[in-house]
Amino acid sequence: MTQAGWYADPYGGGGHRWWDGTKWTDHVNATPVQQAQPQPQPQQPVPQQGGGPVLHKTRYGVELHADAHAITWDGTTIELARAEFVGYTAVQTRMRGPLNIGSVHTSTDYHFEIGFFPVNQAPAIAFEETGLRANTPPSDWQFLVDLSRTYVEPRLLRQFLAAIEAGQTVDVGKVRINRDGFVGGNVSRGWDGIEGVSFDKGWYFVHARGAGKPILRVPQQNQNVMLLPRIFDALKR
């Protein structure tokens, strides 16, 4: 979505990190890099010196600005370093033409959210692209998801694992997790015998070793649910 190149390392250290055009890599240069900055392209995310890629445009008369530090949409700004949850979904529906006549086509609704708990009370941003028939996710939605995966999810994962290690119980995607095990829906299990978590068609499935069917499924709409596979991998025995 943006031009690859060396940019100031968003993780600190004073060096430069290689942006491959879609994500930050593990390649770090501790010395200053002299590089001409590419010129911004209209209506596209562009590199920002010292902070990685930037998305800045007006959609339907509303400003959308997103970078490595914050996301602003419809007058609300959420700092990535402080956000307590993220969530994103791509939900497909099959539709026919008017009066249920004609060929069937697939429509996809894309949703992204970021903010603070409690949901629907504390500040949050919800961004949607609806009724799209293309197989490729819309670029603005994908940009926000990529920001989340790069700057928000690793921090939240570290915080959750540190809290669990300290003996606390955390809520991840409406699954309560601690050092002894987890509770979700009507399922309560310890970590012994847990295989892991998979994702398929809008659901995260918890698997036990030797079980033919998943023992728990969690919808992708739940906040922070994308962290479940990594948390379960870190805690299962």
Q: Write out the chain's pLDDT in tens, 237 residues.
A: 456 666 666 665 556 666 676 667 666 665 544 444 444 443 444 444 455 789 999 988 999 999 999 999 999 999 999 999 999 999 988 765 555 555 666 889 999 999 999 999 999 999 999 887 777 899 999 999 999 999 999 999 999 999 999 999 999 999 999 999 999 999 999 999 999 999 999 999 999 999 889 999 999 999 999 999 999 999 998
Q: What is the pLDDT of residue 162?
A: 96
pTM, entire model: 0.76
SS3 75: coil
Cross-strand pairs, 52: 48
Q: What is the pLDDT of residue 41?
A: 42
Q: What is the pLDDT of residue 223?
A: 97
Q: What is the pLDDT of residue 42?
A: 39
Rama region for 131: left / alpha / beta (φ>0; ψ in -120 to 50; rest): left
Give dist(CA 185, CA 226) in Å, integer.
17
Kindly tell me the number of DSSP H helices and DSSP E strands found in the chain. 3, 18
Give dist(CA 65, CA 184) in Å, integer.
36
